[in-house]
Amino acid sequence: MRLNNVDLDRIAQTAALVQQDPEKARRLQVLEGEWVLDDGAPQFRAFITYEGGQTVFEMDNPTFMGGDGALPGPMHYCFSGLAACYASTFALVAAHHGVRLERLRIRVEASVNFSRLFTGAAVPVMEEVRIHLDIASPADETELERLEELARQRCPVVWTLTHPVRLRTSWSRLPTAEAV
């Protein structure tokens, strides 16, 4: 059965698997990319493999950050991921609770301070991220409030933004053109 474009049977199957074996809830997410050095080309390409295939995301910084502003920049992809994850979580939670959505729109916004990038200033890059949902549904206000609270509690990207996550970086040397 599908509700709100969510396959409830698959959700139930996954939930049952996770209850039997919590390790079944884990999925490795991998994105590989490359900074493009050719003038006039998109500055970054990410190669993303997903269950149904593979795609390429291209990025170009805005002009104030040295790009041409010809494509979405890193913050666009960051906010797009947050918006998609939050809307997805809300739709999934609504479907799980039998609430039909007629329309669901989302707006994500934040004032971004790039001083840290340009001057090294010890200021927050963002002080607040705002998410707003526009919802058309026959459900009453109390039910929609409850669903929104559940979405906020369960959204993986919201959790990542609101809880410290260990970050490890590393690097390795590639051969240069002279060494080849």
Using alpha carbons, select from 151, 160, 156 the residue that is nearest to residue 106.
151
Domains of the chain, residue spans: 31-72, 73-164
Q: Taking the CA atoms of the chain, what radius of gyration do you get in angstroms?
A: 20
The pTM (predicted TM-score) of the whole model is 0.91
Return d(Cα 107, Cα 131) in angstroms, integer. Answer: 6
Pick the CATH number of 73-164 from 3.10.310.30, 3.40.50.1820, 3.40.1280.10, 3.30.300.20: 3.30.300.20
Q: Is the confidence at residue 180, as pLDDT, over 90? A: no
pLDDT tens digits for range 89-127? 999 999 999 999 999 999 999 999 999 999 999 999 999
Sequence-separated (6 or more) residues with CB below 8 Å from residue 31: 46, 47, 48
Residues 6+ apart with CB under 8 A from 25: 18
pLDDT tens profile 8-66 = 999 999 999 999 999 999 999 999 999 999 998 999 999 999 999 999 999 999 999 99
Whole-number pLDDT of residue 178? 81
Q: What DSSP state is assigned to residue 154?
A: H
